[in-house]
Structure 1
Amino acid sequence: MNQPTTPTTPRRAIVTGAAQGIGRCTVQALAAQGVQVAAFDMDAVGLQDATTAGAHLTRTLDLSRREAVVQAVHETVQQFGGIDILVNCAGGVRGQVGRPLDEVSEQDWLQLFDANVHSAFWCAQAVAPHMRSGQFGRIVNIASGAGLRPSLTGIQAYTASKHALVGLTKQLSFELGPFGITVNSVAPGFVLSNPATRRQWDSYGPEGQQRLIDGIHTRRLGTPQDVAAAVLFFTADSAGWISGQILSVDGGRS
């Protein structure tokens, strides 16, 4: 039976999608708690901000490429001496906009599964052996309200891929739980966290923006800090009996 452990050294984390928004804020929140953080992203310039936020090392890579992920995780484990936490923040709409079903190309569809599902799976697959050997792990996937219901974006692949990430979270929890590894997901509501969400927000216009806010119990949009706080909850040593859960962080909209 796995019992809660008390760390004798700082916890070690990988945060993907760390160059901006929720990912960068998560880096900052973990680092502020003394966690050693590796920041992964394809945006080399943005990773400089992750370093400023507290990342101990950075890796520039395309997370949809399994070989690149395996190599980056191996190098991180070698430098940190292990890995305890994985936060999969990478993903998004990759510049896509909602369009009718018959206008969606194969590449559009596959691109968002690469971004939102495949990258998270490759990262979890790469860290799992190290977490199993230490009998401790925290994996947190950043899903979306679009993983629980139709998406405000209107992008079919985004909705489907975030639903897939929710399913992956539950399956990995079932598989990895016996080894002291919890797997949970945070499902944010509308958060102005990057240029893509800013463009989406602007596209609603004043009336659409007001309707969205009126549908949120707290009558405000979320912030990256709101989401990072939920991540910290799941990654805490004290959250060792919470797994397979999807936490909506949306001001009550759900």
Structure 2
Amino acid sequence: MNIDFAGKTVIVTGAAHGFGRSIASGFAQRGAAVHLCDVNEAGLKETAVLCGSRAYSHVLDVGNRAAVRAAVSAIEAEGFAIDILVNNAGGVRGQVGRPIEEISEEDWQTIFDVNLSGAFFMAQAVAPGMKLRKYGRIINISSGAGLGISLTGIQAYASAKAGQIGLTRQLAHELGAFNITVNNVAPGFVRSNPTTERQWEAMGEEGQARLLQNIALKHLGTPDDIAAMVMFFASDYAAWISGQVISVDGGK
């Protein structure tokens, strides 16, 4: 199976490290022009170097609707027709699991802003152009937490990721008539960034062994495993697949 994106334009959010970096690199290696979005400017520069001359960096907070619209408009004004959007930006924003009564409104909202509102704002911004051309691929990166529970115990994260899965299904039906597919990748636990490294260390040897024992393949995956599923959803091989959620978790 040869997947090629020559002539395609892709936006990848959360591209400064981890899944986003692997996803962006995968598209760049297959010939796409890749627009990298993140709040982490230093990380964006590193990803851009990895992706080569067809990578373009945009410092962007996806939870800011006005900023999202301005960024997408600027990309389109440069002559890029956005074919593929990968909503990868997310995470727990430095939070840890705490009892429900300790969660402030700000704690709750900041996780929703990046994990759910950001995906909606990005899709909202690219949809008009995709509708006009009657072509588009939107891939949302959720989490096993959106299908079950969060390993961290963070209520907002589990809720926002579940909401993103619902958004995927809803947008698939709304946008399908315009030949726009909307799908979701739900990764299992992957050591992909400083946050997941801290989570891994906090488990201790016993917790790590228990996590691996609950995985059918008995080992952790890598960011490239997640990127591979994204490449498939974005490719012509998935042209008649929409509204789906695929767990990439080694088997549960």
Secondary structure of the residue aligned to 2:16 is coil
CA drift at 1:75: 1.1
Equivalence for 2:204: 205
2:36 maps to 1:58 = no
Secondary structure of the residue aligned to 2:198 is helix
Q: In 2 relative to 1, CA 8–146 (structure 1 residues): closer, same or farther, beyond 3 Å?
A: closer
Q: TM-score, normalised by structure 1?
A: 0.95
The answer (yes or no) to whether the contact 1:135–1:180 under 8 Å persists in 2 is: yes
CA drift at 1:78: 2.0
Equivalence for 2:181: 182
2:116 maps to 1:117 = yes
Equivalence for 1:246: 245
2:49 maps to 1:35 = no
Q: Distance in 1 between matches of 2:135 and 2:59?
A: 27
Secondary structure of the residue aligned to 1:110 is helix
Equivalence for 1:134: 133
2:17 maps to 1:20 = yes
Q: What amino acid sits opposite 2:90 in the alignment?
A: G
CA drift at 1:74: 0.9
Equivalence for 1:225: 224
Q: In 2 relative to 1, CA 29–80 (structure 1 residues): closer, same or farther, beyond 3 Å?
A: farther
Percent of matched pairs sharing the same residue: 53
Secondary structure of the residue aligned to 2:61 is coil
CA drift at 1:80: 4.1
CA drift at 1:76: 1.1
Equivalence for 2:166: 167
Q: Distance in 2 between matches of 1:229 and 1:49?
A: 21
CA drift at 1:79: 2.1
CA drift at 1:12: 0.5
- Which structure 2 residue ranges, 5 or more long, are not aligned? none
Secondary structure of the residue aligned to 1:45 is helix
Q: In 2 relative to 1, CA 41–204 (structure 1 residues): closer, same or farther, beyond 3 Å?
A: same
Secondary structure of the residue aligned to 1:158 is helix
Equivalence for 2:100: 101
Q: Distance in 2 between matches of 1:132 and 1:49?
A: 33
Equivalence for 1:4: none
Comparing 69-78 and 201-210, the one that deviates more: 69-78
Secondary structure of the residue aligned to 2:190 is coil
For this pair of structures, how many residues does the alignment match? 247
Secondary structure of the residue aligned to 2:78 is helix
CA drift at 1:49: 1.2
Q: What amino acid sits opposite 2:23 in the alignment?
A: T
Q: Distance in 2 between matches of 1:160 and 1:72?
A: 27
- Which structure 1 residue ranges, 5 or more long, are not aligned? 1-6
Q: What amino acid sits opposite 1:40 in the alignment?
A: C
Q: In 2 relative to 1, CA 227–216 (structure 1 residues): closer, same or farther, beyond 3 Å?
A: same
Q: What amino acid sits opposite 1:194 in the alignment?
A: N
Q: In 2 relative to 1, CA 26–9 (structure 1 residues): closer, same or farther, beyond 3 Å?
A: closer
Q: Distance in 1 between matches of 2:108 and 2:37?
A: 23
Q: TM-score, normalised by structure 2?
A: 0.96
Equivalence for 2:149: 150
Structure 1 runs (4+) deviating above 6 angstroms are none
Q: In 2 relative to 1, CA 217–72 (structure 1 residues): closer, same or farther, beyond 3 Å?
A: same
Q: Distance in 2 between matches of 1:240 and 1:38?
A: 22
Comparing 180-189 and 58-67, the one that deviates more: 58-67
